[in-house]
Amino acid sequence: MTLDEVIAELRERADRKVIAGMYRVGINPRGTLGIQIPELQKLARRIGTDHALALDLWATGVHEARILAAMVDDPAQATEEQMDHWAQGFDSWDVCDQVCKYLFGRSSFAYTKAKEWAGHGGQFVKRASFVLIADLAVNDKKASDEPFLEFLKLAEREAVDERNYVKKSVSWAVRQIGKRNNSLNKAALALAKRMKAQGPPPARWIASDVLRELSSAAVQDRLKRAGKAGRTGGQRRPKKKVESGGSDTIADTDAALDARAELEGGEAAGASETSERPPATRRRRGSRGGRSRKVADTESAGAEPTSVDPGTESAGAASNEEHTP
């Protein structure tokens, strides 16, 4: 499809009622058409992978066109310059989370940018850092503990940032790290206890969030079972796809639950993908470590959690794992 054809189709699907729902969950209405994520996923499947079109879609500045750009882009062709440029253009939590979910998290530069952006002054660029960390914690099953221990240090350093979209993403990242295995769970809990005892208000808020979840019986029992089975990250992750729900960014059952908890306006149209059953999928190749990316038929709705964390709460936005703006 050409750029003009895609934009024309997007405009045909515009819905003012959806815009109102998106506004209620903190999504910037400027340049927004009001199209739910499932509709964008259907269109992305029709388009297929098209890097050149993705760049053109991003350049339009249209909210939904930018999310669609991440869905159709090829992670193997994404450059550091492109990632920096797009991150600088984030103006709402859902675009940030969706781009990290569908594109940045599959790029070979994911770890590099997660570290680099953690100290950025822009709230959505910094959020992108921790959304990426949450995504990597859930989806990069083969990674060692070392990079995640380093990420915990970044989280502690940046836990002084009181901006809502930042502190929720930091919490999300720490919680996802702490659900990988027993060793990282202990490290994340130790960090949270330290921040709870002597950190500033944002750090104490993050610590409470982390302690509540990572010390829960549900998480501890799952880690114990995973340890016996020799698995990293706990539960098996459902097959990746361009999901059919509203706002999720990672694809892990726990993450989906996190996402739902974080979705502070999840009742809006298309609010969360965590409530959808994963449909049939076809494979699209990603770039990081040969990870495959699944594009799913999203016509069926069911009930199931996905995996992104505190970051995507939209009426049509999909994020990583828990969606918490």
Nearest to 183 by CA among 159, 210, 216, 148: 148
Establish if 261 belongs to a structural domain: no
In a domain, 168, yes or no: yes
pLDDT tens-place string over residues 38-52:
999 999 999 999 999
Based on the fold, state whether residues 222 and 101 are members of the same structural domain. yes
Point out the domain boundary residue: 228, 248, 264.
228
Q: Are residues 113 and 174 in the same domain?
A: yes
Q: What is the pTM of this model?
A: 0.75
Residue 296 parent element (H or E):
strand 292-296
Do 216 and 145 share a structural domain?
yes
What residues make up the domain containing 46? 1-74
Flag the least confident range among 153-162, 163-172, 276-285: 276-285
Cα–Cα distance measured from residue 110 to residue 98, given in angstroms and rounded to the nearest whole number: 14
Per-residue pLDDT tens digits for 60-80: 999 999 999 999 999 999 999
* 256 located within any domain: no
DSSP secondary structure of 36-70: -HHHHHHHHHHH---HHHHHHHHHT--HHHHHHHH
pLDDT greater at residue 159 or residue 281: 159
Q: 36 in a domain, yes or no?
A: yes
CATH number at residue 223: 1.25.40
Q: Could you report the per-residue pLDDT of 27-40, keeping only the tens digit for each?
A: 888 889 999 999 99
- Answer yes or no: do 207 and 117 share one domain: yes
CB 56 within 8 A of CB 1: no
Looking at the structure, tell me whether residues 120 and 51 fall in a common domain. no
- Look-up of token digits 């114990």: 224
Instruction: Decide which of 182, 198, 228 is a domain's last residue.
Output: 228
Residue with tokens 């828990």: 322
Residues 140 and 63 in one domain: no
Residue 152 maps to a domain: yes
Q: Are residues 98 and 149 in the same domain?
A: yes
Q: For residue 306, tell me if it sits in a domain.
A: no
Count of structural domains, the chain: 2
Nearest to 305 by CA among 259, 270, 268: 259
